[in-house]
Structure 1
């Protein structure tokens, strides 16, 4: 008995799967941050990390890794010349100052001042309103 070789039918190509349109979920209401700092006092990095860890429900070491990663990314963008918006706090950027003529205050002599760059921060209108309202 000779067996006939069965021919396999070519598989039909499947249409690419459609991506489902993701509905934007409503953001969860922000829970209040418990801060222990008193006005006029400087907050240390350690205290800041502990507050972030408590607020996010994570270990302090995880919060440190997250914050360091965030600051590294912000620095990289700013050094490349981008303006980085930080939530409702404000914007960090590099400002370029043109070369200009100044005066020596002791002698009154004209002095040429070189062009330079400086790190600048511009507060957001939301933050400004909150600071002004907290008087």
Structure 2
């Protein structure tokens, strides 16, 4: 499902216009991104939690040349599904 499909589904369930539903989705993703940039977790009970994870520096291998390379430390965002989402997927 892409963003326009999601906006259409939300619009049908909430009596919002599709444009307004798209704005809501954009506002949601902007706020999750801003929280992640600050290092904050975002928890949606029953749905899941977005967490910022720290990756340590490590060595890797260039698949084309086989040469060893250093991969720098980085931050990434992870998602852990909540109980209700896990149950819905079963």
Query: Which bracket does the TM-score occupy, shorter chain normalised?
Result: 0.7 to 0.9
The corresponding residue for 2:78 is: 120
Under a length normalisation based on structure 1, what TM-score does the superposition of the two structures give?
0.55
The answer for unaligned runs of 5 or more in structure 2 is none
Report what 2:21 is aligned to.
63
Structure with more strand by fraction: 2
Count residues in correspondence. Answer: 89
State the shift of 1:127 in Å: 1.5
Larger of the two Rg values belongs to structure: 1
Distance 1:87 1:56, change over 3 A: farther
Aligned twin of 2:87: 129
Aligned to 2:42: 84
Q: When you count helix as a share of all residues, which structure comes out higher? A: 2
SS class of match (1:58): coil
State TM-score, norm by structure 2: 0.78
State the Cα RMSD in Å. 2.1
